Amino acid sequence: MKVIISGGGTGGHIYPAIAIANELKTMDATTEILFVGAEGKMEMEKVPRAGYTIVGLPIVGIKRELTMANLAFPFKLGTSLLRARQIVRDFRPDVAVGVGGYASGPLLLAASMHGTPTLIQEQNSYAGLTNKVLARWAKRICVAYPGMDAFFPAEKIKVTGNPVRSDIQFSSEKVTAGQTLFSLETNRPTLLIIGGSQGARSINESIESGLQRFVDAGIQVIWQTGPAFIERAKTAIAATGSDLIKAYDFIYDMDKAYAVADSVVSRAGALSVSELCLVGRPAILVPFPAAAEDHQTKNAMSLVDHNAALLVNDRTARQELVTAALNLLANQAQQQQLSQQIKTFARPNAARDIANEVVKLTK
């Protein structure tokens, strides 16, 4: 079996794609998998790191504001479509999978034109524009939330959940390894902060302003800042004179980070929400307000409405986030309730269920 998996741009697209690929290889080690991403985007580094081959398309997104860069979009789209058609002709896939992101559009369109069955994996509670367009030709659409027939033909939908990295499913067994990796003390509460693979400015600035409050409360913090904020974070940490705050531009060992976290502050991207459900960590979600159709708030509310997470608005995060985090870390009963409720949303077999749908399309 030969499968093309296309998409990327953010960890929320890349890691589900890798999880699907890993499951396909587990089911049949002879399966050939080719990734197609966007040149210059993070998938071009993350996918080879996971052991897979990837080729890039020159595709870019359209900026919401008026900019000269938008003038190049039609040319890059046309070039990407031609290159995607050549990739499909050369690789001759049995099925093509799109996980969202710039590259999935040209590749899935080219695959459909070639007569290759396609599958879309939509991670969010509000469908992206590219996936809504591609749904016309897709044979199967795997989703994470109920009610997605508002965007897609109901007969094509399969509710599978979002696939996540398989290693985090066993994070509770990795507490000791995590304490060693992050140089943590065993008798202190630990807060994990993840603002997405590129970081989150409002979250970072909120934490920066409250570092001394965490130190005074004896809280250990593992802080993924993203590459743009890391030096500023290190400067702020040095000013406290404490070694309780650990900052990283990117955390590769998320299984160990989840294992040692008593609570988590996170954006509400689909991947982050799915991972939090699987590991069962009490969470404060700070949705990214500029996400398309405010889908991160919709993702967050699907948990908040069931007492499975807390929410702090991005616009008030600088005033409220640190206090909310300190209050949660001081409230064991609330942590336990949130943990129990969020686990009920977990779908640990999502990658296997999607892989099974991929295999069905080859028949």
CA angle 361, 42, 192 (to 5 degrees): 100
145: pLDDT strictly greater than 90: no
Question: Is there a single domain that holds both residue 215 and residue 257?
Answer: yes
- What is the percent of the chain where pLDDT is above 70? 95
293: pLDDT strictly greater than 80: no
Was 273 annotated as part of a binding site?
Answer: yes
Question: Is there a single domain that holds both residue 48 and residue 155?
Answer: yes
198: pLDDT strictly greater than 80: no
Was 12 annotated as part of a binding site?
Answer: yes
Question: Is there a single domain that holds both residue 355 and residue 314?
Answer: no
Average pLDDT over residues 298-325: 95
Q: How many domains in the chain?
A: 2
Residue 129: the pLDDT is 81
Was 10 annotated as part of a binding site?
Answer: yes
Q: What is the mean pLDDT of the chain?
A: 92
Select the more confidently predicted residue: 292 or 230.
230
Was 358 annotated as part of a binding site?
Answer: no
Residue 9: the pLDDT is 81
Residue 171: the pLDDT is 65
Average pLDDT over residues 27-54: 94
Residue 197: the pLDDT is 67
Question: Is there a single domain that holds both residue 92 and residue 173?
Answer: no
Q: What's the chain's Rg over C-alpha atoms?
A: 21
What does each C-alpha distance from 133 to 79, 100, 125, 151, 336 come to in angstroms?
19, 12, 16, 10, 42
Residue 208: pLDDT band with limits 50, 70, 90: very high
In the numeric block, which tokens belong to residue 221? Answer: 């913090």
Residue 32: the pLDDT is 98
| Residue 59 to residue 62: CA distance in whole angstroms | 10
Residue 205: pLDDT band with limits 50, 70, 90: very high
Choice among 6-15, 29-38, 203-212 with the minimum mean pLDDT: 6-15
List all residues 6 or more positions away from 191 whose beta carbon is below 8 Å from its beta carbon.
Answer: 214, 219, 220, 221, 222, 261, 262, 263, 264, 265, 325, 329
Residue 320: the pLDDT is 97
Residue 91: the pLDDT is 98
Residue 62: the pLDDT is 65
Name the residue type at position 76: K
Question: Is there a single domain that holds both residue 183 and residue 331?
Answer: yes
Residue 235: the pLDDT is 97
DSSP character string of 304-356: HTTTS-EE--GGGHHHHHHHHHHHHHT-HHHHHHHHHHHHTT--TTHHHHHHH
73: pLDDT strictly greater than 80: no
| Residue 264 to residue 241: CA distance in whole angstroms | 24
**Exposure of 115 in the CB half-sphere (CA atoms within 13 A):** 2
* Span 78-100, pLDDT tens digits: 899 999 999 999 999 999 999 98
| Residue 265 to residue 214: CA distance in whole angstroms | 14
Was 355 annotated as part of a binding site?
Answer: no
Average pLDDT over residues 339-363: 94
Question: Is there a single domain that holds both residue 219 and residue 183?
Answer: yes
Residue 64: the pLDDT is 62
Instruction: Count the neighbouring beta carbons within 10 Å of the beta carbon of residue 181.
Output: 17
Was 112 annotated as part of a binding site?
Answer: no
Provide the domain limits for residue 104: 2-162+348-361
Was 325 annotated as part of a binding site?
Answer: no
Was 11 annotated as part of a binding site?
Answer: yes
- Are 307 and 130 in contact by the 8 Å Cβ rule? The answer is no
Surface-to-core class of residue 314, CB atoms within 10 Å of its CB (0-12 exposed, 13-18 middle, 19+ buried): buried
The 3-state DSSP composition of the chain as helix, strand, coil percent (nearest 5) reads: 50, 15, 35
* Span 88-137, pLDDT tens digits: 999 999 999 999 888 899 999 999 999 999 999 998 888 878 889 899 99
Average pLDDT over residues 264-287: 94
166: pLDDT strictly greater than 80: no
| Residue 107 to residue 7: CA distance in whole angstroms | 9
Question: In the beta sheet, which residues pair with residue 121?
Answer: 142
- What is the percent of the chain where pLDDT is above 90? 76
Was 124 annotated as part of a binding site?
Answer: yes
Instruction: Count the neighbouring beta carbons within 10 Å of the beta carbon of residue 179.
Output: 17
DSSP, res 262: S
Was 272 annotated as part of a binding site?
Answer: yes
153: pLDDT strictly greater than 90: yes
Question: Is there a single domain that holds both residue 204 and residue 309?
Answer: yes
The DSSP H or E segment spanning 222 is strand 220-224
What does each C-alpha distance from 135 to 51, 108, 110, 131, 287 come to in angstroms?
29, 10, 14, 6, 26
Question: Is there a single domain that holds both residue 138 and residue 175?
Answer: no
Question: Is there a single domain that holds both residue 267 and residue 140?
Answer: no
Question: Is there a single domain that holds both residue 130 and residue 59?
Answer: yes
Q: Identify the CA nearest to 237 among candidates 250, 252, 227, 222.
A: 222
Q: What is the C-alpha end-to-end distance of the chain, expressed in Å?
A: 10
| Residue 353 to residue 332: CA distance in whole angstroms | 35
Question: Is there a single domain that holds both residue 151 and residue 196?
Answer: no
CATH number, domain of 89, equals 3.40.50.2000
25: pLDDT strictly greater than 80: yes
Question: Is there a single domain that holds both residue 94 and residue 200?
Answer: no
Residue 125: the pLDDT is 83
